Amino acid sequence: GPAAPLAHPAVASSGVRRRRAVTVGINYIGLKCRLEGCINDSHTFVELLTSDFGFDVGDIRQLRDDHSQGSPTKRNIVTALRWLVTGASAGDHLFFHYSGHGSQQADRDGDEMDGKDETLVPCDYQQSGMLSDDELRSILVAGLPEGVRLTVILDCCHSGTALDLPYKAKIQADGGLDLKKKAPNKLKGSSKAEVVLISGCKDDQTSADAGVGLAGNTSAAGAMTTAFRIVVSQNQSASYAGVLTEMRKFLKSNGFAQVPQLSSEQFLNLEVAFMPEARAAAASPPVALRPPVRKALSIGINYLCLPANQGRLSGCINDSDTMIGVLKDVFKYQDAQICRLRDDRHDMMPTKQNILASFRWLTQGASVGDELFLHYSGHGGRQKDTNGDEQSGFDDTLIPCDFQSAGQIVDDDLYAHLVQGLPRGCKLWVMLDCCHSGTALDLPYKLVVSSDGHGVRIVKAPSRRPGPNSEADVIMISGCQDDQTSADVQAGSLGSATAAGAMTTAFKNCITPTVTCHDLILNMRAFLKKNGFAQVPQLSSEQFLKLDTSFVRYGDKTDAANAAAAPLPMSPLANHPTASLAAMQPPHAVVPPISQLAAAAAGLHGAVLPQQPASARPPVVRRRRAVTVGINYIGMPCELSGCINDSHTFVELLTNCFGFNVADIRQLRDDHPQGMPTRRNITTALRWLVTGASEGDHLFFHYSGHGSQQDDRDGDEMDGKDETLVPCDYQSSGMMSDDEMRSILVKGLPKGVRLTVIMDCCHSGTALDLPYKVVSDGSALTVKKKAPERMPIASEADIVLLSGCMDNQTSADAGVGLAGNTTSAGAMTTSFRIAISKNQAASYKTLLTDMRTFLVTEGFKQVPQLSSEQFLDLEVPFMPEAQAPGPSPPVALRPPVRKALSIGINYLSLPANQGRLSGCINDSATMIDLLKSVFHFQDSQITQLRDDRHDMMPTKQNMLAAFRWLTHGAAAGDEMFLHYSGHGGRQKDTNGDEESGMDDTLIPCDFQTAGQIADDDLYSILVKSLPRGCKLWVMLDCCHSGTALDLPYKVFVSGNGKSVRCTKQRSRHDVPPAEADVIMISGCEDTQTSADVQGGSMGVSRAAGAMTTAFKHCLTPTVSCIDLLLNMRRFLKQNRYEQVPQMSSERFLKLDSPFVSYSGGAPLGSPPATANGHAASAPLHSGAAGGELDARISSLQQQIQEMRIHHHGSMSHQGTPYASPLRLPHHGHAHHGHHGVHGGLGSPGTPNHWGSHSAPYSPPMGGHHGFH
């Protein structure tokens, strides 16, 4: 039977001050939609509330449609709900139960994901209408004060989100219950009250009536009410998670499909009792016996006693400076309240003894109301756990500057010094920017984020410490998980002027006085992920943490405690740096030099991690100007209603969000005689907008009004129609065509200027005739380029157009109510406002996608279009003002150097039909000609390896040595080029970084004895250490070469070949990408082979590789990257080759830039000059004099010959590289690639995984050479 009721004294001890309830049961007596169990449900809740939870019958209002005095009409329900909340104050528990029909109606204010409001159905709904969730929220939630608890139980259909509460419980794959927060644009005005809703089903489900017999029911009842009764009767103290989980189990086991939902106004601790009356009485607030004290400690250790490349860091002292700035600006600490340790000051040395003493100073004498803050930036380590309290078997550690002699500080000591003795009522923030720091305080509560990033929960881990936990409010943000490392950021990256820790930089970027704990940690993770860092900051706490509270004031319990963080009295010990430390060690104590970092500190903060690359530097906005035009066509038959309002919207957005001054904005609108949008005035304003524009300017043009079309007179339109704007005097002065607008706005605009154009009008899709258009290929957004015959005269400016619809569509006016509009507005302008207000840093892709989604959701057919003058990186912010500042251009410390390496291997040591190729050495000669004629390299700058010259043999050792020569000592301004033509292979991936499970390889001439060169080695030698400001071209004419450098950016071409995108792939390297400009063209996809061309085919007089031939055929000094790639693919396809050349890069590639000068720098029409007027070259020996060609070649030949002899002994002459031919492995799954396709390298009968670059081969259909 049901559990015995709680005794009333126990109920009273819960702290509930006053209880009120409303319960509604509607059977719809006499109506066709009659139900049977709802009135019984209402009786059930009256009984539960009075018998089990201390409610008095006199404080419960019951409405049911079998009682004429309490009929549940819409008016009576509203009156009862107003009574319920009137006069509510902190400590009250209000309860509303409803059992009846639920329904849905069209959403009118845009706050519903499914476009439908949920409704309750009163008994007089046919006359008075239904009660929507917006009305319910307005009555019940909107004015409810902090400290009030409102419990709502809705046993009806379509009730999942019937109060539009922001947090929703969701079960994850691991069985855990997360809370998912609504998207910001769907949030209603928030309340500080504790509001909880349990609803009978999801929004798209129905709630069932249950007949007699279900779980002992003696009369009909609602299935959900029955489930609630069973669960709460069995355990009156059931938690939120327990009530929801058990209700769902009960319904499922009894054959009901409905799934009860739990949502809330605040972030919930799902493990506490659902009913406040069942909770243990809270302890009385602690009493402060003295004024509160504030102390902060910041530690930054660069390990300056270590050698530069053996553990020294560069950003930690800067991190300490940064955090002290945040403490003063955001947390309102005073200088006198802050202590710091740093290892560039002998009187503040962060030795182990000093760090522990500082920890004791920080927490000593802590009392109620005290606020303490610890920040640490330095190395973090791991060492074997000695007391068995770690699941991983390792303690996390902090690394003092004297760690080698004094040892590390383990997490057990950290907890004992910092947390264990803290009393209830004081607060401690801990920020650890170091490796292996995820659980460095072993705090019991940890934030867990769902795999999709939308759901969160606070999980309590079993305590691994003896004794009770501390009662203080302790919260820690650590830089990464226990098994991860925390990275350094180089100066100039991520907007940091100096070297810094990535986590501290993320914290500084995301912290505000009001940001919640939830938003802060997710924003930090998003910031780091966006910038290419793998580390995942962690959030943990000593008490359950309400994630929706402000991080800066996270432990405050009431508004009274939230008074502005005025500086509190400092501790008598707050002068610690000059008093306490002086007593700790002699004034000139110096840590002995340390030869290398101890093995226990193997996961270094940043020393062993390559520095994070700087993103391409966005233009600094120098000057802003804007023109906005809104035309309602007042008094005309074509009158509109929202365009002037749109113009006001953009003035507000530009000034409030993006730094435009009102004085720099010209507004034309037809309700203002001084600024009428006539054709002449619009033209004058646009000329003013662009006059005097120079690099760094941001110009903005917005138009809202009619758009139209007229006959195209110059043949540049696919549909034969020019797009037009319609001035207010169009009947007398005519319309403005896209050709005119392009002439005024685009034609003379200089490089480095950004022009943003937004057109909310009909037929506006290509209204500036920009060459690049963003299209959807079904799975992603790609960029399509106009056909050459349709291309206008190009501009070098950065011009972007966001238009309201396609050329053949119309743009709609939207009435009042759309997404909170209080006046009429354009649908497109409204969608832009919503999207950009939600995220001012929204990327091109996100902005366009969100606008389109909004319009589709709201029932509009128009599809906004995005086009541009230059090829866009769709992942960067749409508004330049929202882009993070980039680093300053790299400074060259010497004249730039140019080097080129070309390798051609015919495998002359192999039998003629078993792997020998014929065109690769010819390819090398062809490429050297191109390097000199198109790229303007000089002979002295080019090194060649080829296997018909004993002094240039492309052995594995020689190839690796040549790769190192190519990139050794690279600096800003250097240009390097690598070409390889030979066999390409595949071998099993040994480090798990390949999705296919196979590494791509290059095949040296001595591969059988020395092995192949894997893509990991290629990246490590060629790319990994290249500095910002240098360039490397790589051309690989071999099989299986598509991703042979594992570069992160890859060019994708749509199926019809008309649109492209440059997309960043998941990095397969355990290091941040290089900062150099690296671009690679490979001969085919990873799964394809690259073919040979026989002499006489494709216009070549001798054998050659098909890809090298295509490259030679398509390359010009000015051809763009995308045109080169597409032309090469077309060339090969026309000649019936199936291989598909690939293009990839280390950084985002502007595909419209010339390939020969692809990074956007000055064209290489003339080589960089040295003081004597000749191009700088780079010998293999760094000390060789430039220009001494004979000496250089002699030196290179001698070195290669020595390496060759050292590894392979003497070689025969007469062009035969080895005394005995190499024999290839015969195993069937070596997956060695082949530059051609057929002609095996194995013995007869062996499974053939090799082909021949130029081995004679006749295709089955005849006529073509190579692979089809």
Active site residues: 706, 762
Whole-angstrom distance, CA of residue 319 vs CA of residue 514? 22
Read off φ and ψ for residue 273, nearest 5 degrees: -60, 135
Our separate counts of H helices and E strands in the chain read 27, 52
Distances (CA, A) of 306 to 311, 597, 929, 1214: 6, 8, 49, 55
Look at the block and give the residue holding tokens 């290398």: 596
1195 with 1180: CB under 8 angstroms? yes
Whole-angstrom distance, CA of residue 1114 vs CA of residue 1119? 8
What count of residues does the chain have? 1268
Whole-angstrom distance, CA of residue 809 vs CA of residue 862? 6
Most distant CA atoms of the chain, gap in Å: 115
155 with 101: CB under 8 angstroms? no
350 with 400: CB under 8 angstroms? yes
Whole-angstrom distance, CA of residue 1076 vs CA of residue 1030? 5
Whole-angstrom distance, CA of residue 335 vs CA of residue 350? 19
661 with 735: CB under 8 angstroms? no
Residue type, 1251: G
Whole-angstrom distance, CA of residue 940 vs CA of residue 1190? 9
1079 with 1161: CB under 8 angstroms? no
844 with 853: CB under 8 angstroms? no
What is the CB neighbour count within 10 angstroms for residue 72?
A: 29
Q: Please say whether the dihedral angle defined by the alpha carbons of residues 180, 184, 186 and 191, taken in this order, is positive or negative.
A: positive
Q: Which residues of 1064-1085 are buried (b: 16+ CB within 10 A; e: fewer)?
A: beeebbebbbbbbbbbbbbbbb
Q: Which residues of 1202-1238 are buried (b: 16+ CB within 10 A; e: fewer)?
A: ebbeeebeeeeeeeebbeebbebeeeeebbbbbbbbb
Whole-angstrom distance, CA of residue 582 vs CA of residue 998? 60
Whole-angstrom distance, CA of residue 372 vs CA of residue 430? 9
Q: Please say whether the dihedral angle defined by the alpha carbons of residues 410, 416, 417 and 422, taken in this order, is positive or negative.
A: positive
Label the pairing between strands 167-171 and 209-210. unpaired
DSSP 145: P
Residue type, 99: S
Burial class (CB in 10 A: 0-12, 13-18, 19+), 218: exposed
902 with 924: CB under 8 angstroms? yes
DSSP 1074: P
Burial class (CB in 10 A: 0-12, 13-18, 19+), 1111: buried
H or E segment and range at residue 149 = strand 149-155
Collapsed DSSP state (helix, strand, coil) of residue 1088: coil
1262: left (phi over 0), alpha (psi -120 to 50) or beta: left
- Please name every residue paired with 489 in a beta bridge, in sequence order, or none if there are none: 500, 612
Q: Six-digit token pair at 567?
A: 């500086």
The answer for residues whose C-beta is within 8 angstroms of residue 146's C-beta and 6 or more apart is 90, 192, 193, 558, 559
Q: Please say whether the dihedral angle defined by the alpha carbons of residues 109, 102, 93 and 67, taken in this order, is positive or negative.
A: positive
